[in-house]
Structures are given as C-alpha cells and as structure tokens.
Amino acid sequence: MNCLDYRRILLAGEGESEAMRTHRLGCAACADTHRDHFAFEAELRAAMEVPVPNGLESRLARRSATPFDPARRRWLAAASVGVLAAGAGLYVWRGRDDSMAMACIAFVMKDEAKSVMMGAMPREEALRMLAETLPLQRVERIGRVQHIVPCPFGEGTAYHVILMVPQDKVTLLVMPDTPMPRRGRATQHGMYASVVPAGRGSVGVVGSSAAVVDSVVGAIRA
C-alpha cells in the first residue's frame, strides 16, 4: 500500500481496509487525507439533510395527476438543455490526448507517491522558484497547498503541488522551463489532465473530475 493507492481507494468510497489503516497510521500525509475526506463527507451530508415540507407528498401526487401544461414542458426543456451542456463539457475531453497532458497523468499514477515521500520544500524557496511561472500566492488563493517539491519530469524539472480545493484534491505540475503554445488535454484511467501556458513555462493540472480540472485551470489563467 502506498500513498497514491490509499488516496484513490479512499476517494472511490470503498472504505478503509486493514492494509489502508496500517498505512495511514504510519503516514502523516494519508492521515491528513483521511481526516479531510471524512470532514468533507460530513459537511456534505449535513448540507443535504433538508427536512421535507409538510404535505409535499400529497402535492406531488396531485400535480402528477394534472394534464401536462406548457409551463412544465418549458421547465423540462430547460432541464434537458442543462444536461446536454454538461455532456458537451465532457465531450471536449474525448479524442484530445495531448502528449504532455498524458505525461502529467502518468506522473500522478506512477510517481506522485514517491514525490510525497520526498518531503516538502520550504515555502520561501517555493515562492522564489515559482515566481515567474505560477506565483505561489496565486496557488494559495485557489486552494490549500498540502505538498510542494521539485522532481524530475520529462527532460527538465517540475514543481509537484498537491492542492486541496473545495470540490476535491488536484495535482499541479509547474514547469518553468517547458513552454506550451496552447492548451492541451488528455483523459486516461479515470483521470483528467490539462496543460496550459503560464508565465515563461506551463502548468499541468490533474484530477479525477473534468469539471474540477477546468475550474482550477480557469483560476490559474484568470
């Protein structure tokens, strides 16, 4: 059991096995992941526990017995448009497997756990090294930085950032020496990656949700 396996199984909702528990008890990073995950789940459950108004069941029964009126038709049409828009958002990820974005996914799948084990770099050094590509202050406005360390990536160096945003965790790979002329996307193994130009280099964003990745990319480019 490693950190990456622990995080993926936990976020998949499969529960914590004995092997996962043993790993967590010896790993501060995964203990933080466990605590944050269940705190978020508790907040989500609390937000969804809305009391049902009195008489709602009888009102719904009466409404279902009435003829299909034009107002209801318009409401359903609007809902259908919303579903189609969501589908269109996912469609743009298909058939766009950019090589750099694929490399970012491969890093998360194969090397992220090793990077976490290396420990984090001092914040003062991160401020200096990221300044010309993606200033750390901007990253900290997007979410909570849990880990940042330089690591080999391709033919150069990337700064590996694990970022906690309200919806999920994402991985950033800040690449000061790797310019990108345009945005690239890829999806594989249930992961989504987007690489965007930033400063004199580029930034890769990897997550398990296309919507979250797009949201973080939008915040980086704002």
Q: Quick: pLDDT tens for 64-88.
A: 565 555 555 554 454 454 444 445 4
Q: What is the pLDDT of residue 65?
A: 60
Q: What is the model's pLDDT at position 202? A: 95
Q: What is the pLDDT of residue 4?
A: 74
Q: Which domains, and CATH codes, for the chain?
A: 99-221 (3.40.1000)
The reported pLDDT for the residue numbered 85 is 47
Low-confidence ranges of the chain (pLDDT < 70): 11-14, 40-57, 59-96
- Contacts of 180-186 with CB under 8 Å at 24 or more apart are 180/100, 183/217, 184/96, 184/98, 184/99, 184/100, 184/101, 185/92, 185/93, 185/96, 185/97, 185/98, 185/101, 186/93, 186/96, 186/97, 186/98, 186/101, 186/102, 186/104, 186/105
Q: What is the pLDDT of residues 91-126, one digit of tens each?
A: 455 556 789 999 999 999 888 888 888 788 898 999
The pLDDT of residue 64 = 58
User: For residue 74, what pLDDT is reported?
Assistant: 53
